[in-house]
Structure 1
Amino acid sequence: MPRSSDNLWDLAVAEVQAKENTEDESTASAETDRSVFFIGNKNGGKTSIILRCIDRDEAPKPTLALEYTFGRKAKGHNTPKDIAHFWELGGGTSLLDLIQIPITVENIRTFSIVLVLDLSKPNELWHTMDSLLQVTRKRVDKVVADIGKSNSKSANQITQNIWRTVANNHPDRELIDPFPLPLLIIGSKYDIFQDFESEKRKIICKTLRFLSHYFGASLLFTSKAEAHKSVLRAFVNHLAFGQDKSKVVSMDQNKPLIIPAGSDSLSQIGTPPASDGDLRQVSARSPMELWKKTYARAFPPENKNASKDLKDPAKDAQYAERDVDAMRAVKDQELEQYKRNADKSWKSMNLGLHTQ
């Protein structure tokens, strides 16, 4: 309430401050609505991780394409609940076109990525990581560019936020390329991985440490074991609900890796896991290429087209519905007829244009 001693200037200042406080509260309220996008290996455990983190005691089902669910958590007593939107991409690397759907101009400021890599399939690891992150980065760059067309300040702020996980005085600041969104890399099925030979575990651990550090990401190994549940929830809930970051750090390759973003360094990771002679034989133009080629020598990528592994859900016997399938067949025929008619119309239109 204005005081009798306030002059016009004091009243104006108070009004501006009140407006700024209202805007800050509105922004804080908007930030309680976050989105987390799970991508990674097919059958890598993405659904199980999501169910764990939102306390749903149900058996995970195969993810057909792109699926959505949500979770709520209260900040405290008598306070509104935070909402987290969980998106999950199925099919491994076979449905890359769907990545563009969840990432939008409206939600990119509170959007995070969780990349789940199946540790039991080391030959698929690099290809899965590279394919998914490349397409995701391309989509993010496009969305930021779209924002920049109308609000360059907002686009610049999103770009600057990339470096939040890397301290200004970090020795590797000039040597890494942080991912444009908060990124958590999860190595799943640690229970199988821990039985690998020591040298194989070393190569995979060092490689994932390099990749996570290079992308400014957090790294976490986990399995279905109850002992891994609390740490997993802490990392995911930080992204989904803004809860406190996990302070646990473990860089011992004989234990599950737990490395928060910004806490590792190239000096701690060391050189790619190969002999000096082998490294000299590798021709690479960048550290990323060197690590890729070194990893491929130990775990050659499998030559197969991932898209061939994906079945059409409409033709999957486990989802058969006689009436629905019959109607689907009719609609498929109508669609084909529509395409033929549209093609004829387009061709006749072109001919008409050329004769004018």
Structure 2
Amino acid sequence: MSLPDLAAQIVNKTINELSEDTARTIIIVGSKSVGKSNLLYSFLEKSEKPRETIVLEYSFGRKSSQKQGIEKTICHVWEYGGKLEMLKNVLDSVPVRGRFYYCVMVDLSKIKTMWHTLEICIKTISENSTDTTPELILIGGKYDAFKNYVT
């Protein structure tokens, strides 16, 4: 191995270790019009009003860690707003950095479609996560309409 190859290997290893500690990737998917963008804007502390997500949108945020110093955690957030049946075609194009979280947001006011939404989202992520297994987060949206539902 040549000296430049060895140097490149050391730099790549250092960058990977650094990004593993200071980066997070979140993919948020779920029911149409459930509030994914509102949740995302609140999480990223954006003040503007969210607009409808086209298919796949990227946002990022930086937060200082609790330790003293200049180290910041970078959060890469991918929001999917297309048809859930097409989700598997999109996930391959999402680069994952650091810890990986897969957020599924379900519309609680649509009781008959909740399970179908969960099945599609969980099946898709389990089929597409070969390198890194994400942490799964389930979020119920539109609880205000759900709490008054009578069976």
TM-score (norm 2): 0.80
Q: 1:129 aligns with which of 118, 131, 139?
A: 118
Deviations 1:163-190 (A, max 9, x none): xxxxxxxxxxxxxxxxx42010000111
Q: Measure the CA separation in 1 of the matches of 2:55 and 2:129.
A: 20
Q: Which residue of 2 aligns with 1:186?
A: 139
Q: 1:85 aligns with which of 63, 73, 76?
A: 76
Deviations 1:260-298 (A, max 9, x none): xxxxxxxxxxxxxxxxxxxxxxxxxxxxxxxxxxxxxxx
Q: Which residue of 1 aligns with 2:35?
A: 45
Contact 1:93 1:132 in 2 (8 A): yes
2:84 counterpart SS class: coil
Q: 1:101 aligns with which of 93, 104, 111?
A: 93
Unaligned runs of 5+ in 2: 1-12
Deviations 1:203-254 (A, max 9, x none): xxxxxxxxxxxxxxxxxxxxxxxxxxxxxxxxxxxxxxxxxxxxxxxxxxxx
Cα RMSD, aligned residues only = 2.3
TM-score (norm 1): 0.36
1:36 counterpart = 2:61:
no
1:138 Cα deviation (Å)?
0.8
1:78 Cα deviation (Å)?
3.3
Deviations 1:137-196 (A, max 9, x none): 11113xx3xxxxxxxxxxxxx6xxxxxxxxxxxxxxxxxxxxx42010000111111111
Contact 1:65 1:95 in 2 (8 A): no
Q: Measure the CA separation in 2 of the matches of 1:139 and 1:25.
A: 25
Corresponding letter in the other structure for 2:72: K
1:72 counterpart = 2:25:
no
Q: 2:102 aligns with which of 106, 110, 113?
A: 113
1:109 Cα deviation (Å)?
5.1
Q: 1:114 to 1:31 in 2, by over 3 A?
A: same
What percentage of aligned pairs have identical amino acids?
Answer: 29
Corresponding letter in the other structure for 1:120: S
Unaligned runs of 5+ in 1: 1-22, 145-157, 159-179, 201-356
Contact 1:89 1:99 in 2 (8 A): no
Matches within 5 A, 1:156-175: none
Matches within 5 A, 1:13-32: 27=17, 30-32=20-22
Corresponding letter in the other structure for 2:140: G
Higher normalized helix content (fraction of residues): 1
Contact 1:36 1:86 in 2 (8 A): yes
How many residues align? The count is: 137
The runs of 4+ residues in structure 1 deviating greater than 3 Å are: 23-26
1:92 Cα deviation (Å)?
4.0
Deviations 1:20-62 (A, max 9, x none): xxx8997255321110000100111111111111111121111
Q: 1:124 to 1:55 in 2, by over 3 A?
A: same
1:70 counterpart SS class: strand
Higher relative contact order (CA 8 A, sep 6+): 2
Q: Measure the CA separation in 2 of the matches of 1:186 and 1:109.
A: 22
Contact 2:19 2:97 in 1 (8 A): no
Q: 1:135 to 1:26 in 2, by over 3 A?
A: closer
Deviations 1:302-328 (A, max 9, x none): xxxxxxxxxxxxxxxxxxxxxxxxxxx
